[in-house]
Structure 1
Amino acid sequence: MADRSLSDIVSKLKSIDIAMLVTKTGEEGAIAARPMSNNKDVSEQDGTSYHFTTDDGRIDDDLKRSDQCGATYSDGEFYCAVQGTGKIHRNRTVQEKHWVKDLEKWFENGLDTDGLILIEVSPKRIAFWDGREQGEFTP
């Protein structure tokens, strides 16, 4: 196990904007992945991340069917796999806490975008590889 703290890994995840968010999809539970920004919004306490999207795609249906999800990150020789659960937030007050101005390039109407949802990914396991170092956390 590498001599890294969860805080070290979270700091790295904050610096990597795009993650591949993975869900189970369809009746058969196949795997689906799509790129999502974490907006540098990753909890220092446990690695929870937040991702905005709209409810007109498959991801909200996937998370309604099964809350199991994950996110993968990479940057150079650093790789990280987060496995956990996803929760959909439609509450504007919750969304306001995680909104950043840069999101307006994707959501022209900002927080007033029709069908806007916030996906909270709560990790159960965080595994990382950095060159020859590797480690795992269960927050």
Structure 2
Amino acid sequence: MPSVNDALSAARATIDKVELCVAATSGDHGVANVRVVQKLSFDDTWCVAFATDRTSRKTAEIERTGKLTLLFEDDAEGAYAALIGTASVSSDLETKQKYWTGDLDRWFPQGASSENAAIVELKPERIELWNYAKGIAPEPLGLRAAVLERDGDDWRRLA
């Protein structure tokens, strides 16, 4: 079974490679709502940020539950990494300016000062992944995900 560091390395490689990912939130009546979002930032603490409309359903669901899942997929490696954890939404100008890129101007022509622009920040507590190319997944390979859970500043393997 690959080490925690091998699993983290494989997950980071997948996330680094992917610009667009799938965001899943918990909707009404326990239904999952999914949509594509553009990753703006992915840092050494595993936090991911993306922009959204302050008035969107995704914003309301994140604010209601405080939870978010982001799914990153890499077909070439036969890999995925899902980051699951707590999320927050900020429409504070300083936060928006920290992450703002010119690409966002097409949705928010007023730039970071747009009233409806917001930044979502995800702090993962759990990572689920597999990567066929790197042999990352419990046996039988690929039928279950490798699972890591945050333990303070470190990660531990659950499966």
TM-score interval w.r.t. the shorter chain?
0.7 to 0.9
Max Rg structure: 2
Q: How many residues align?
A: 136
* Structure 2 counterparts to residues 1-139 of structure 1, below 5 A: 1-3=1-3, 4=6, 6-26=8-28, 28-39=29-40, 41-45=41-45, 47-76=46-75, 77-131=78-132, 132-134=135-137, 135-139=146-150
Structure 1 CA distance for aligned equivalents of residues 10 and 130 of structure 2: 13
Instruction: Name the SS for the 1:133 alignment partner.
Output: coil
- Is the contact between residue 10 and residue 136 of structure 2 (CA under 8 Å) also seen in structure 1? no
> What is the Cα deviation at residue 100 of structure 1?
2.2
Q: What are the ranges of 5 or more consecutive residues in structure 1 without an aligned counterpart?
A: none
Structure 2 CA distance for aligned equivalents of residues 107 and 11 of structure 1: 30
> What is the Cα deviation at residue 112 of structure 1?
2.1
Q: Over aligned residues, Cα RMSD in angstroms?
A: 1.8
TM-score scaled to structure 2, two decimals?
Answer: 0.77
Q: What are the ranges of 5 or more consecutive residues in structure 2 without an aligned counterpart?
A: 138-145, 151-159
TM-score scaled to structure 1, two decimals?
Answer: 0.86
CA offset digits 1:75-134 (Å, max 9, x no partner): 111111111111011111122112223322332221022311100111010111111422
- Is the contact between residue 10 and residue 44 of structure 1 (CA under 8 Å) also seen in structure 2? no
Instruction: Name the SS for the 2:42 alignment partner.
Output: coil
Higher relative contact order (CA 8 A, sep 6+): 1
